[in-house]
Structure 1
Amino acid sequence: MDPTDRHILDILRVNARTPVSEIARRVGLSSAPVARRIERLERQGVIKGYVAIVDDTATGDLDAFTEIRLAAGVDTRRIEEIARQVPEVVQYFAIAGDPDALLRFRVPSVDDLQRVVNAIRRTGVVTSTKTLIVMGEWDRATELR
């Protein structure tokens, strides 16, 4: 990874649909070397994929984070396994300190959030949870557009 690769990644983080010709202009190279760099970054797994950033307020969905505290001796990989089975979980973070893990949910309603959090609590590996509902958000990448 050199500074040009990092610059290309910064551009793609803001808008993954930026044409290669525009990226090339902004990094000071021609299109062919930029395309090769992007392909290499994809092959190496630096670029894992491309996503659409959806405005959840437009869909009516709720975003929430739940802190997870695990029973003594339970490996955090166990909660990751559980999270992968719950479609409403959109992100999992193993974190240092207290709590042990953080889950991000996207659900249609508070009732759905309660149902999903209760299901995670009933797994037998969770000792406590704390859920935070997102009231608003800001994202550096979308602000840069």
Structure 2
Amino acid sequence: MDTIDEEIIRCVLRNARSTYAEIGEAAGLSAPAAKRRLDRLVATGAIRGFTALIDTRALGWRTEAYVEVYCKGNPSPAELQRDLEGIPEVVEACTVSGAADAVVHMLAKDIAHLEQAIQRVREAPVIDRTESVIVLSRLLDRPRL
């Protein structure tokens, strides 16, 4: 990985839909050269995929909950991640110490939508049960560095 690769990564992090010309301009390359470098970054696994960032507030998703997840057996974090990543209401998930295996932060438009999303979490093959707390008010919401 060199500074050109780093510029390519910065460009696609800003906008995963950047054109090869835009990526090339950011990295000082032609569009075909940018495509080759980007393809190599994907092939080596340095870039694992491209995604869309959703503004949940624009969708009207203002109901939020933290859900403790208890797993069946001892699944790997990768197995748990696979089961959770297909649920768009799950905006963050972490394995944790303590009784729960993971904590999931969820957003939904209302309680009924949240209940449906939590049910989809419960239906995941590795999950035994969940315990949820609904956020009433957000006291601090500091940006992460």
Alignment TM-score, normalising by the size of structure 2: 0.63
How many angstroms does 1:101 deviate by? 0.9
Please give the secondary structure, in 1, of the residue aligned with 2:23: helix
Per residue, is there more helix in 1 or in 2?
Answer: 1
Higher mean C-alpha deviation, range 117-126 or range 21-30: 117-126
**Counterpart of 2:33?**
33
* Greater RCO (Cα-Cα under 8 Å, separation 6 or more): 1
Distance 1:21 1:82 in 2: 33
How many angstroms does 1:119 deviate by? 7.2
Does the 8 Å CA contact 1:83/1:92 hold for their aligned counterparts? no
How many angstroms does 1:96 deviate by? 3.7
**Counterpart of 1:23?**
23
Please give the secondary structure, in 2, of the residue aligned with 1:12: helix
Q: Say if 1:92 and 1:55 are closer, same or farther in 2 by CA, change over 3 A.
A: closer
Q: Say if 1:59 and 1:120 are closer, same or farther in 2 by CA, change over 3 A.
A: closer
Please give the secondary structure, in 2, of the residue aligned with 1:60: coil
Distance 1:75 1:20 in 2: 43
Q: Say if 1:103 and 1:76 are closer, same or farther in 2 by CA, change over 3 A.
A: farther
**Counterpart of 2:5?**
5
Please give the secondary structure, in 1, of the residue aligned with 2:53: coil
- Between the two proteins, the alignment pairs up a number of residues equal to 139
- Counterpart residue type for residue 75 of structure 1: N
Query: Gaps spanning 5+ residues in structure 1: where?
Result: 141-145
Q: Say if 1:109 and 1:9 are closer, same or farther in 2 by CA, change over 3 A.
A: same
Identity %: 22
Distance 2:42 2:133 in 1: 37
Q: Say if 1:67 and 1:35 are closer, same or farther in 2 by CA, change over 3 A.
A: same
RMSD of aligned alpha carbons: 4.2
**Counterpart of 1:48?**
48
Q: Say if 1:17 and 1:68 are closer, same or farther in 2 by CA, change over 3 A.
A: same
Distance 1:34 1:4 in 2: 9
Alignment TM-score, normalising by the size of structure 1: 0.63
- Counterpart residue type for residue 24 of structure 1: G
Higher mean C-alpha deviation, range 61-70 or range 50-59: 61-70
Please give the secondary structure, in 1, of the residue aligned with 2:57: helix
Q: Say if 1:20 and 1:65 are closer, same or farther in 2 by CA, change over 3 A.
A: farther
Q: Say if 1:3 and 1:85 are closer, same or farther in 2 by CA, change over 3 A.
A: closer
How many angstroms does 1:7 deviate by? 1.9
1:126 to 104, 129, 136: 129
Does the 8 Å CA contact 2:63/2:110 hold for their aligned counterparts? no
